[in-house]
Amino acid sequence: SQQGEEDPQALSIQEGENATMNCSYKTSINNLQWYRQNSGRGLVHLILIRSNEREKHSGRLRVTLDTSKKSSSLLITASRAADTASYFCATVDRGSTLGRLYFGRGTQLTVWP
Amino acid sequence: DTGVSQNPRHKITKRGQNVTFRCDPISEHNRLYWYRQTLGQGPEFLTYFQNEAQLEKSRLLSDRFSAERPKGSFSTLEIQRTEQGDSAMYLCASSFGGDGYTFGSGTRLTVV
């Protein structure tokens, strides 16, 4: 079953603009991860943020986590056409020893040149 | 070995036939997962192996589905008596310790 919900479902921007995607989830988590998926391909792990962290950076990516609101955001700065893809958040439940991921439905990002 | 390999990439089969997919994880990864993804949805968990032991199975994994991971290396996912509702992308992922999964490119199954 799906756990997270990404918002918006679709986002269309020009190259150079920033893209912000949000994720809400329902349970207590151990960590939250963001993945990218190009059309018809597998998922690429972007970043992992643990429940005791509030913000994390990786290159042009910035992820925040608010466990009180059960929400996370992914910011991509200075977007490029190559960033066009679907972006998914996925959570691992607190106490999980198996590391099972619960995914949302994703945000489809389109970056126009 | 730089990634998770899945074969075949695409499979078209007639309803009622059996199909088998293979996943070769990153060699030092002890955890292996299968997920299924239908169009417009996020991946949904199917099953999990730690080394050769299958430790969890989703309710999505009906008795027509079986997965193995002999010797804790590659894994196979078999679907017997395929139905049109089985059409999906089947994704394999591996990890060491549960952080930062590496996904394969998936096997896209079409049941006609």
pLDDT tens per residue across all 113 residues of chain A: 556 788 899 999 999 999 999 999 999 999 999 999 998 788 999 999 999 999 999 999 999 999 999 999 999 999 999 999 999 999 998 888 778 899 999 999 999 99
User: How many CB pairs (< 8 A) connect A and B?
Assistant: 69
Q: What is the pLDDT of residue B72?
A: 84
Whether B96 and chain A come into contact, CB under 8 Å, resolves to no
CA-based max dimension of chain B: 39
B101: nearest CA partner in chain A: A45
In this prediction, residue B97 has a pLDDT band, given cuts at 50, 70 and 90, of confident
End-to-end CA distance of chain B: 34
Determine the pLDDT at residue B100.
77
Summarize pLDDT for A51-75 with one digit per residue, the tens.
Answer: 999 999 999 999 999 999 999 999 9
Inter-chain contact B41–A2, Cβ cutoff 8 Å?
yes
Let me know how many helices (H) and strands (E) chain B has, helices first.
0, 11
**B49 touching chain A per CB within 8 A:** no
Partner residue opposite A48 with nearest CB, options B42, B56, B100: B100
